[in-house]
């Protein structure tokens, strides 16, 4: 892990860009004392996502958490995968034609992404937990819900997850969802046009966790109400302290 840039934001948050081999990432910390870490999931494209990520990070840091994220495989400046680009093109073709999105396309799009991204997030976790400003247990917050599901199953350092329903979830991953046992808070935008509401409800039903809470709100994909930021902090405060 190699820090490449550092700035102090106006609210005192220390923001550091880093690379982990070829993978760029960003770390936000409240101070030198060890803070529990929240990994910020996102759909890929750190630069494009930066305004929303830094807002979420600041909100978490204000409550005493550190926050970190890394670029997804095939996004931002990272090399594209021909297979993923093809699956993405097929997805957009289906959406443009108003056709239902085939399970087979979702599988081609999401499963290889999860297979590649999850080991990268775990490697990032190793490097981040070696820093004196970071301590476990760890939370995962955000989208590509399939990445959050896989992490929750395979990574024992993840103690709680706040998952954004809304990305495509391969039906094959419902079996993994049943294996999740950590506390979950699931955010669902009720009117999200790019989202299959029933699939999100079915996925919530499938999770094996004894403590799972669904928060459904009005508005589209990016319209999550501000008060959910506070609700997320309180969820992590219950489980990461």
CB 182, min distance to a second copy, A: 13
Burial class (CB in 10 A: 0-12, 13-18, 19+), 214: middle
CB 230, min distance to a second copy, A: 7
**Span interacting with a second copy, options 48-56, 60-68, 151-159, 207-215, rule CB under 8 A:** 207-215
Between 89 and 237, CB nearer to a second copy: 237
Based on the shown chain and the rule CB under 8 A, indicate whether residue 238 belongs to the binding site for a second copy. yes
Q: Which two tokens stand for residue 185?
A: 């808070």
Based on the shown chain and the rule CB under 8 A, indicate whether residue 210 belongs to the binding site for a second copy. yes
Exposure of 138 in the CB half-sphere (CA atoms within 13 A):
22
Based on the shown chain and the rule CB under 8 A, indicate whether residue 150 belongs to the binding site for a second copy. no
CB 60, min distance to a second copy, A: 18
| Main-chain dihedrals φ then ψ at residue 8, nearest 5 degrees | -100, 120
Based on the shown chain and the rule CB under 8 A, indicate whether residue 56 belongs to the binding site for a second copy. no
The interaxial angle of helices 145-154 and 103-129, nearest 10 deg, is 50
CA atoms 8, 128, 168, 196: torsion sign: negative
Between 69 and 233, CB nearer to a second copy: 233
Report the relative pairing of strands 23-29 and 14-20 from DSSP bridges.
Answer: antiparallel
Between 1 and 214, CB nearer to a second copy: 214
Q: Tell me which of 78, 213, 220, 229 binds a second copy, using CB under 8 A.
A: 213
The residue whose two tokens read 């999401």 is: 110
- Choose among 113, 103, 127, 111: nearest CA to 39: 127
Based on the shown chain and the rule CB under 8 A, indicate whether residue 212 belongs to the binding site for a second copy. yes
Binding to a second copy in span 172-201, by CB under 8 A: 190, 201
Q: Tell me which of 216, 220, 221, 229 binds a second copy, using CB under 8 A.
A: 216
Based on the shown chain and the rule CB under 8 A, indicate whether residue 63 belongs to the binding site for a second copy. no
Between 47 and 238, CB nearer to a second copy: 238
- Choose among 191, 173, 184, 177: nearest CA to 239: 184
Report d(CA 220, CA 225) in Å as an integer. 10
24 forms beta bridges with 19
The site for a second copy (CB under 8 A) is made up of: 190, 201, 204-205, 209-218, 225, 227, 230-231, 234, 238
């Amino acid at each position: 892990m190699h820090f490449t840039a550092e700035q102090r934001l106006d609210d005192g948050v220390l923001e550091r860009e880093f690379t982990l081999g070829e993978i760029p990432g960003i770390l936000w910390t409240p101070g030198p004392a060890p803070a529990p870490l929240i990994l910020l999931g996102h759909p890929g494209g750190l630069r494009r996502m930066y305004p929303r990520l830094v807002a979420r990070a600041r909100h978490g840091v204000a409550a005493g958490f550190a926050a970190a994220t890394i670029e997804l495989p095939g996004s931002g400046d990272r090399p594209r995968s021909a297979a993923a680009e093809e699956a993405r093109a097929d997805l957009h073709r289906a959406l443009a034609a108003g056709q239902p999105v085939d399970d087979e396309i979702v599988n081609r799009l999401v499963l290889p992404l999860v297979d590649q991204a999850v080991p990268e997030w775990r490697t990032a976790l190793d490097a981040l937990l070696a820093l004196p400003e970071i301590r476990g247990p760890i939370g995962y917050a955000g989208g590509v819900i399939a990445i959050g599901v896989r992490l929750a199953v395979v990574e024992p350092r993840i103690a709680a997850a706040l998952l954004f329903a809304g990305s495509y979830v391969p039906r094959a991953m419902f079996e993994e969802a049943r294996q999740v046992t950590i506390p979950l808070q699931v955010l669902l935008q009720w009117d999200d046009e790019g989202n299959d509401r029933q699939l999100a409800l079915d996925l919530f039903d499938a999770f094996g966790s004894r403590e799972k809470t669904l928060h459904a709100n009005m508005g589209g994909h990016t319209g999550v109400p501000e008060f959910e930021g506070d609700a997320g902090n309180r969820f992590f405060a219950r489980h990461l302290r």
